[in-house]
Structure formats: structure tokens, C-alpha cells
Amino acid sequence: MALVTTKQLMLDAQKGGYAIGAFNVENMEMVQAAVDAAKELRSPVILQTTPSTVKYADLSYFYANVKAAAEHTSVPVVMHLDHGSSFELAMRALRTGYTSIMIDGSHDSFEQNIAVTKAVVDACRPSHIPVEAELGKVGGKEDDLDGGEGGGYTVPSEAVEFAAATGIDSLAVAIGTAHGVYKGMPKLDVERLSEIRQAVSIPLVLHGTSGVPDEAVKECIRRGICKVNYATDLRIAFSNGVKEVLSANPDTIDPKKYNACGREKVKEYVMSKIEVCGSVGKA
């Protein structure tokens, strides 16, 4: 089927008390793996690329991969720009055909974040493309995303003002998760999440979820999270598959052989996280 937007998928998830898994993809095999996992479990799925990923290969390369995969499956597939770093990049993604856009102004002042977010929302609205933004700072470092050493949690009262001033469709909240590999067990402020949920009506998003215990993610979903992002662990899964083949057969020169193993590892991981999100059978 054709690519869809996140708008209705996330409203349905909010109403149904589950979340949609959002998976960062780096190559064709990871796209295939995520879509195959979603198809097998009859779940909607969101595929994402970050600014560093589209710097490696242009937006159009990843869009073409995801569009082709979507056309060969019967479950809803979204193509989302994750952590859009500028108005210009957001507009490039919009023109390329991405069906969901994130603009991340969380590293700027509150006022600047509102300004750039509203500009993206206003530009995307005529095309009916939903916009996600971030308020507060998700810590850690992954690619070019550097959230620092934590802190900067989302303030519920500011979330109300931010949502009203920008017109965003969903909000990524900072409650203690971090990008990249955790050095210890993350401590999530779930009470803060509940306060934010009570304060705003739009769907909420959880970033930096790779490495967060599944039960903690489920608790966040129970408290209002409608989209859960996974990135680092997909890279680890794919790399482990490649290493497994090359370790057993060092002379392997056919990329299809080791990439296929990486693809299978990613598929297994994505299936497990779709189950955590509770979206099995929701396609």
C-alpha cells in the first residue's frame, strides 16, 4: 500500500492504549526487516532517518527504499524524518515525500523552539503532513545528536504553552531517557509523564528507548506514550548478524550473505519491540 502519515495511526494508538514502534533504518536490509516484521505481526510501523543518516545517503535514497517496501506490503508504513535539525532539512524531507516530519528545536531557547517549530508546522499543514517536536532535552549522544548529560526535563505547563503556540501533532518528551548506549539503568520520571499527559491532548513520543527495560516502556505506554523510538539497538542487531557470518566464514565476500544475517537479526528485534508496544494486529 502507499505510504501513510502518522496522524490517524497515533490518534488510534492514543485511543487504544498502545504505541507505534518507530525504527531508525540505515540501509535497504534494515528497511526490509522492519517492514517484514510489521507485516508478519499485522502492525503499523514507522521508519525513520536522522540528519546524519541522510547525510550519508540523500533523503531520496531512503525514501525510495521505504516507498518500495510499503508498496509490497499490506500494513501501514510511515516515512518519518527523525530529529530534523533545521527548517531547511524539514522542507527537503517534505518535498522528497516523507509522510511525517520531526523538527527538533530543543537545543534552542523555548522561544526559538516555538518559532522554528511553528514555521515547520505552517509549511507542512497544506500538505496534511503531521509534525513532531521535542520539548526538554533527551540526553546522551548518538550520531550528531548530543543531548548532554541529562536534565532539561519537559515541564508540563510549558508543554501546554508549546503545543498551543505551535500547533504540533505530537510531542517528544524528556523524562530521563537518553540517546545511544546507556552506561547504567535509566531512571524514568513516569509521574512527570502522567502530568504531561493530563496537561496536553496530543499524542506523546518517547525517544532514546534502546536499552530501556521492556516493562518500563510498557509503563510509559500505559501513561500516554503513543510512539516509541528505537535506533541504537537496531544497529547493534544488524552489526551482530554481519559479525556472526564473517566470524564463522572470514573469506565471505558476498555482501548478500552477511547482510541477510544482519537483516534477520533486525527483524527479530523489531518483532520483539512491536510486541512491547502492543500494536500486534492493529494494522
Q: How wide is the angle at C-alpha 172 spanned by C-alphas 2 and 121, nearest 5°? A: 60
Quote the CA–CA distance of 142 and 182 in Å, as a whole number: 11
Quote the CA–CA distance of 222 and 197 in Å, as a whole number: 11
User: Is the Cβ–Cβ distance between 264 and 33 less than 8 Å?
Assistant: yes
Q: Which residue, chain included where needed, has cell 524539514? A: 90
Quote the CA–CA distance of 50 and 125 in Å, as a whole number: 22
Active-site residues, by number, are 82
Q: How wide is the angle at C-alpha 165 spanned by C-alphas 106 and 101, nearest 5°? A: 55
Give the H or E element holding residue 45.
strand 45-49
Identify which of 186, 162, 188 has the alpha carbon closest to the alpha carbon of residue 175.
188
Quote the CA–CA distance of 38 and 75 in Å, as a whole number: 7
C-alpha cell at 8: 490517524
Identify which of 52, 138, 48, 165 has the alpha carbon closest to the alpha carbon of residue 99.
48
User: Is the Cβ–Cβ distance between 82 and 172 less than 8 Å?
Assistant: no
